Every structure is written in structure tokens, then in C-alpha cells.
Structure 1
């Protein structure tokens, strides 16, 4: 039967899973969240946050949304804004991929690119400071603030968590990447309240401060933070796995060798899940990992030999983000 929609927000594949046994060599099912018009799981949180502001009366026709994003949320909000008639301003930084910037601009978004990190808060701290400045200078701007907005995790409590539980009623362990922690908090809360026997394992990028570790250099946008998100509550994670960026790249390359072009966040989650299952898994264990994104936006980074070698250190190069082609601030 044909699927006919009148709005890009009406389409999202919710029940597609990849059995990774042949690709990765572990008993793991990957929930693919990239098959929507935004290409990532961020569309769920974007829709939820915008709807909440509309209910509160903060957003009216012709209004302007502003948000800090490393890429995927910015693309998702560009689509939401275009479909609803809002303006959108995205504050990102030089690690955001060129494809993500161009996509946001094609959808009508205005992109501000932060060129230097904050001394204490890194690129995220600098982005948030710029968002605050924009809001001070433009009274009509509505900042969604995905890092502190409970609608971020509620979107996944309402959708992603129940979707996994329906597909795998005998689930033992669920692996979730930690970025803004919206997906992690929403799914973890859902399973804690409805299926408390499921083990929730967070997968974080090495160099992230979310779980209390000291900050480190990170080049791949998506997972990990340089400022701990206010919506994050560590008590909802039963365990955490850290993944080096070189391992993220290797996993993405391994998956694409089997025909699966996934994004950096997915490579991180799968790598962390494989490591955890190698150490703790059982033959009868049912394990699911959430894939946040597809790989189209990473062709000039993770899937580019020169860029990737700079991150992995294969040629001894010191990796630096490439020049942004959008508005620098």
C-alpha cells in the first residue's frame, strides 16, 4: 500500500532493525532511526520541543527558533521550521560537517559557525554563549535549549522507548548514545518505569564530560559534550562505555564494507555495544542498540581518507576542523 503524506514530519520508519551478526560478529540488533526527512533520530525531539513551545504560547506564526547544534538537531529543526513557517537560526561550530550546514541553509536556515572554543566550556560553551547573545539582541527569538528542555527526552519516552519494547518484549540490554542525553534519558526513564529488568548502557565519546570525566579533544560531532546537559541524570544509566574516535571511524568503515552507510554517532554506539557485549554478553542475551543517524553528512569527514587519518593519527597529522563555508562568528 502506498504511503502518501502532506507534511515531511508525517514520515518516519520506526520498526527497521539490522541484525549485526554478519557485519560485526556480535549478537546485536540495530534500530535504524535515520529513515526520515531529517536523516536522524533528532526529528523526534525537534517535533516535541517545538510543539511544547506552541502549546505554551511562546511560538506564533512567523516566529524565529534558535538553537545550538553540532549538526543533526539543526537539520531536524530546519525541516520543522520550514514545514511550519518559522525562521530558524542554528549556532554550530567548525566541527559541523559541510553537508549538514548546506542542508540547513537549503531549507532556509541561517547558520552561525563558532570558530573558537570557550576556555572552560569548549565549543558547546561558546555556542551557548552566542545563542544567549542572539536572544538578548532579538526579543522575538525562541531558544529551544535542547540541553535543558525536558521535551527533548519526553519525545523519546513517548516514541523510541515504546517502539523498542514492542519489537523486543524479551529485551535484556539497550545501548544508547549520550549526546544531549535526550534519547538516553527518555528511553531509560521509559524502561525504568515499564520494564525495569532491562539494562541500560550509555555509550559516550572519549573526551566527553557528561559522566564526570575530564574534557578531551573531540572532532566528530554528535555524541559527547563539553558542558554537562542539565537534563542528564546519571542514575538512569546502569553502565557506561567510552569510545575513542579512532574506534568510531573504524566501526563506520567496517559497517560500510557490508553496505551500511551510517553516521559517526552510530559508529560510536555500535563500537561501544560490541565492546560491552564482548565483556558481559551471553549467548542467550537479546541486545539492541539505537542508531541515531545515517552517513551521508559524513562523506567529507569520517569517510574521507585524509580527514580520518588526521583523527586516527595514521600519518602523524594534527587534526583540525576544515574551513566552514557558512557565516563565522
Structure 2
């Protein structure tokens, strides 16, 4: 008999799928989507959740019977919760009010406690989900604050698992890697691996308006006051996480909230690939910079999470109508 001993063993080995329609007939290059929704938690975050927990166990930061505490938009929390169930840990997750109700409901469904903080506050504000996460970790007995933003096991997970899978699946022939940029783990971890294999591979981070990542990459300067509120979920930052190594990223492309939503919906309807907000942003980014590609290029674009997280927002016609985005 062939079976897995637990759900955690199914993390990884996600498919690479050709994009056929949504980018348009005149798109010059071969585009292959690394569809991370087949992970058990339906997102790429399962990979780093497992790595961060295992590394914390090894060095004693996470002790038996402990409580895992993290600021998360939902996907990291889901990954952490699935691993925690197998290992006997409790979970407390802190998120912000921008995140979809579905994400919070899913976390509660797997036994996590969820605390929602306001979105329109600075990261240093005591009410922010960054600050609340740190405070809870300090106050909770036997608590461990994951800190996915600065925990380098995040990017190491992608260096060790995601990127080698892509390299093998493409037989080392990819010319571009495109991924949404949030904590920096995926784009930096994969980017580092690919640059070590072939320095000519271009690494592109997908950013959103309101985020400061593109500005930091282009100027080397950090101006936290340049950040402003945006609707897109899963990409962009108003801080610079330690997981970033900007030297392995060749370019950041910004996409509007509207275009990300529209392309996510198109991806579902035209390709049958039901993914999240940032997947739409990635598709839109490719269209915006299509003149940079040739017929010989092989582009791998990573699709982070599942569309079920967004049925109350971008996949809801009433919500889209309220935003003025439904043509």
C-alpha cells in the first residue's frame, strides 16, 4: 500500500502548469505556473511553516507543548496550524482587518485562536499586528514568536525545496522567475538558488502600490512614511523584512489593486486555475512587462494560494461592483 503517515508529508512536489490563454495570444514566451495550491494548506506557506517549526525545535526555541504565536494574513497560519496539529502545539495568530473573513474562519476551523488588529496603523503602533504578536509572545508561557518576516528559515525553505523542484521540472532551462513579494522568503530563497545555478536567470518580484519594496530596491533607502494602505493581499510590505536579499532580485513590478483582482478572476475563468489575489497580480505584472521577453524565454511564475480564501472579495461580484472594478 502507498500512503502518507500524516498530512504534513504531502507538502511540496507541486505541479508546473502551462499558461495558455490569460496572457493573450501575442505573449511571446512560454509561461509555466508553479501552482502551490496543491499543498495541504493550499498555499506555498506550508513549506516555510514546516521548516520554521522544525528549525525552532532543533535549537530549543520551540519546546514540547508550546504555543506558536505569529502575525499572519492567513496562509502562514494555516501551514503552521497543520504542522502544529501533528506535533501537539497550540496556535495564536494575529492578523489585520484587511484580510478576508474566509482566511480567519479557516484558521479557527483548524483550532487556532485568531486576533484581528486594525490595518490603518503604523507597524510600530502598539495596536498593529506586528506589535500585538510580539507582546503576546512575551506574555505567553512557553510561547514562541515565529516572526516569518525576519526568520531566515522562511527563505531557506524555498532555497531547499521550492527552487530545486522548479529547477528539476524545467531541466534547468528557466530564464525568468516571477513571484509575489511579501515577507521576501519565496523570491529571495528561490532567487538565491537560481542565481547560484545560472546568474543570467532574471528574478522578478511582484509588488503593489502602497508598498515600499520597489522603492527600497531601486534607491537603497527605507522611508516607512512612503507606505500607504492598499487592498491587495499577500504581497507588498510597509517594512523591510530581514528575509530580503535585494541583490538577487533584478526588478520589482508594481500592479494596481484593480488589475490584480481582474487578472485573478480571468485566471480562474480562462485557465481554470483558481488562485488568490497575488496570482492575479503576477499575471498582470507579466502583461505589463511582456516587451522584455522573447520567444525563447521560459518564465516560471509562482502562484501562492487558493482562490477559496477570496470568495468574499475578488470573486464576489457585489464586492467588485462596490470597488468599481466590474466592467
- TM-score by structure 1 length? 0.89
Once the two structures are superposed, the pairs formed by residues 47-126 of structure 1 within 5 Å of their partners are 47-118=50-121, 120-121=122-123, 126=128
Q: Is 1:293 equivalent to 2:305 in the alignment?
A: yes
2:47 is the counterpart of 1:11: no
Match 2:281 to one of 268, 271, 275: 268
The answer to whether the Cα contact below 8 Å between 2:19 and 2:31 also exists between their aligned partners in 1 is yes
In structure 2, C-alpha distance between the alignment counterparts of 1:207 and 1:273, rounded to whole Å: 20
Indicate the SS of the match to 1:212.
helix
**Kept after mapping to 1: 8 A contact 2:177/2:301:** yes
* 1:210–1:224 CA contact under 8 A, matched in 2: yes
For 1:21, the equivalent position in structure 2 comes to 20
Deviates more, 1:22-31 or 1:88-97: 22-31
Which piece of structure 1 moves more, 278-287 or 134-143? 134-143
Question: Which residue does 2:222 correspond to in 1?
Answer: none
Unaligned runs of 5+ in 2: 217-225
**Residues in 2 aligned to 1:37 and 1:210: alpha-carbon distance in whole angstroms:** 29
1:134-167 deviation per Cα after TM superposition (whole angstroms, max 9, x unaligned) = 1222242100100001100000000111111111
Quickly say closer, same or farther: Cα 1:125–1:41, change in 2 above 3 A: farther
Deviation at 1:183, TM superposition (A): 0.3
Q: CA deviation at 1:122?
A: 8.3
Does the CA-based 8 Å contact 2:117-2:128 persist in structure 1? Answer: yes
Q: Any stretches of 5+ residues in structure 1 without a counterpart?
A: 316-329
Partner residue, 1:160: 162
Deviation at 1:192, TM superposition (A): 1.6
Residue matched to 1:136: 138
Cα distance in 1 between the residues matched to 2:245 and 2:166: 21
Distance 1:196 1:50 in 2: 31
Match of 1:249 in 2: 261
Cα distance change of structure 1 residues 268 and 60 upon mapping to structure 2, 3 Å threshold: same
Residues 73-119 of structure 1, C-alpha deviation per residue, up to 9 Å, x if partnerless?
A: 1111111111211000000011222221111111110000003532x
Indicate if the aligned counterparts of 1:125 and 1:227 stay in contact, CA closer than 8 A. no
Quick check: 87-96 or 25-34, which moved more? 25-34
Which residue number corresponds to residue 218 of structure 1? 230
Shift in Å at residue 23 of structure 1? 3.0
Equivalenced residues, count: 312
Question: Contact 2:123/2:129 (CA < 8 Å) preserved in 1?
Answer: no
